[in-house]
Structure 1
């Protein structure tokens, strides 16, 4: 097992070379969860992820012969950028194998740091197999994203900083992919404070560690917002550490991840990718588990595609009924659309979209169907609008995803 002494050595190596990120109280997140939350902003690193710590700790300790060979890594994005960035700073040639499903923003950033990027496979596991082939073919040094003692030690420096800033934390909630982040931080935190609670979080679609700990066989795979922790293979070094030091692993759904990403953006005014928001997603899922505790969250990455982020924001507005779609059955006569638009305006609804249709057999011959999407203040306001439309005789029916809501 990696020791606190090795993590402290990593801290010395990283000093002045990676950012000592701030950890700040989050009153708005505390209010909605019932816990006292402190957020460690690892999304402020140069590559916008904690991965720089482990990557630099590994690369900085290579000897001249190893550096001359060049390095290779496989990653869904953040480890790739970290290796590419620090390899370039140290004059080491880097090749990165990334799944073809990796968000374009992460691929572009990795190339921008000067690495040779190879896109291969649908998953990290497939990318790893290709990376191992290239490693053997070109005699490169493999930089594993999590199953390496120096990587684990580098990531563990986060907990040292967190407990240096707030020694009274009761709990750390940390995302789990391959397990390097939670392993290093569990070792450091438990060595400093044996009573601190370490809780891990995985995406429901990738319960690799959860399966291993519970001797279960839940399905693994699928498209997830948290591609940074979408790992099928449990770490050989990390699993025993997790088994010994982590009290619980919580699985979070895609909608919970979306809600957490949106909360970071709208309440904390900061960018979190799906994996980076997983800790908050766990607290939103099970607030009673953390109520009244002082909790440290690691916002471990902020590399999210802007289009995905925009989609999440709109979807959250729909979930909160601040954007509402409904279908009206209306008489087909001149001026009716103007009357409805004026009525909605008087009700305080902002019209976003209108779709007017006549040629449907379930609409009266002298009638028409009107699908309307409006912006509202909140759920109560949405109900007020629908009630008014019903009282006006338009028979409103709620729509969801373009279809009638059952």
Structure 2
């Protein structure tokens, strides 16, 4: 890395990410990065999954959420920082990130004695913000999106003459991420497919080059959220272009780590993607729950995107094949994880709620509970409400939260309860029986 960087007073862009001269990262750079960073990162496992039988193919998970900071970003951060000149180390660096890259830069910078400033959007998960602060980074919250935060970071870069390091498009960052591809091919040399999630593109660029260097026949599948299709936008426009859908819709995406409006110029020029798909948001909670239950792996939304693709039904060609799926990060707020688990249980038919209009007489609730017990349903919560039924003194509304085995079991329960309680039963709580009773 040379010294002619963003410290230029009139510099607005990033000289290491030039749209007019994108730089293709070569396999030799990834091999060099592997040697440079091997003592400072975790050599994470790539192991066969118990989910293979359920899915119908040999599934392996590359568990890079096991890195010290909880994501694959440790690789690129260490590589780019170790390649800085003495003058650059002394001056310090600045970067932009929704969280994982910031944490890795803070951690590796602290180890190497390099001051790191990170600009994060205000919507960044608090668990990531607090982690950066605990790692002694200078944390600045600015803007509602990654791109707004980056503009602010560039302004600070020019004012304070810092070196800006792009978290997904700096060539040395891409080379560092590519070391994961080398490890995957060491562990599963005959892999047929590698499924890689895409945000800014640094991961798929590095992994695809490294993997195909070792095995030219491996197929690389890129996966994006439907709410953040930056790579699709770039492909349609023959180069990185701002994806306005991402700018407006990604704020509500569980895959916050992938919310980048424009993918990297170097990443797009480097990556070798054989197939590209988008995945609906609804598959993410279920994917995260499966990983928690079956792999004992806490994985954030962005980290689970590859496995969500496996559940989406959009990859029929991988049936019977050997497939590697990357778990790229595990930094998720505990409160968000609780809500994710609840929603996933609902999606799988394992948790549901209903209201029923009962007579306010002895034995009515007991009879309901007996029906549920006979159906082998576990009652998680039950609430008895009288005052809302204004015109029926001898009626009450009972709300039950129940646990069932799966969607088939739930369907059977619904059928029996409908037969017993008819129109007095309601599974759609957005149109609660309270409203019906009040208007009676």
TM-score normalised by the shorter chain: which range applies?
over 0.9
Match of 1:123 among 142, 145, 166: 145
Which residue does the alignment assign to 1:347? 375
- After superposing the two structures, state which structure 1 stretch, 392-401 or 146-155, moved more: 392-401
Which residue does the alignment assign to 2:96? 74
* CA shift for structure 1 position 395: 4.2
Match of 2:83 among 53, 56, 61: 61
Match of 1:210 among 232, 256, 271: 232
Q: How many residues align?
A: 402
CA distance change for structure 1 residues 346 and 233 in 2, over 3 Å: closer, same or farther? same
Structure 1 distance, partners of 2:190, 2:141, is 44
1:83 aligns with 2:83: no
Whether the aligned pair in 1 keeps the contact of 2:220 and 2:275 (CA below 8 Å) is yes
CA distance change for structure 1 residues 27 and 334 in 2, over 3 Å: closer, same or farther? closer
Match of 1:50 among 68, 72, 78: 72
Structure 2 distance, partners of 1:181, 1:219, is 22
Match of 1:227 among 241, 247, 256: 256
Whether the aligned pair in 1 keeps the contact of 2:44 and 2:67 (CA below 8 Å) is yes
Which residue does the alignment assign to 1:191? 213
Whether the aligned pair in 2 keeps the contact of 1:156 and 1:186 (CA below 8 Å) is yes
Structure 1 distance, partners of 2:81, 2:146, is 21
Structure 1 distance, partners of 2:421, 2:227, is 45
Which residue does the alignment assign to 1:301? 329
Computed over aligned residues only, the root mean square deviation of the Cα atoms, in angstroms, reads 2.1
* CA shift for structure 1 position 294: 1.0
Whether the aligned pair in 2 keeps the contact of 1:328 and 1:394 (CA below 8 Å) is no
Which residue does the alignment assign to 1:313? 341
Q: Unmatched 5+ residue regions in structure 1? A: none
Runs of 4+ with deviation above 6 angstroms: none
Where does 1:121-160 land on structure 2 (aligned, <5 Å)? 121-160=143-182
1:13 aligns with 2:42: no
Map Cα deviations across residues 159-214 of structure 1 (whole Å, 9 max, x no partner): 11111112101111101111010001111112222221111111111101111213
Structure 2 distance, partners of 1:124, 1:279, is 22
CA distance change for structure 1 residues 398 and 32 in 2, over 3 Å: closer, same or farther? farther
Which residue does the alignment assign to 1:23? 46
Match of 2:297 among 266, 270, 283: 270
CA distance change for structure 1 residues 315 and 136 in 2, over 3 Å: closer, same or farther? same
Which residue does the alignment assign to 2:283? 256
Which residue does the alignment assign to 2:414? 386
Match of 1:247 among 242, 254, 274: 274
Tell me the TM-score normalized by structure 1.
0.93
Which residue does the alignment assign to 2:3? none
Whether the aligned pair in 2 keeps the contact of 1:325 and 1:398 (CA below 8 Å) is no
Q: Unmatched 5+ residue regions in structure 2? A: 1-23, 434-440
Structure 1 distance, partners of 2:269, 2:353, is 50
Structure 2 distance, partners of 1:34, 1:383, is 25
Structure 2 distance, partners of 1:75, 1:313, is 26
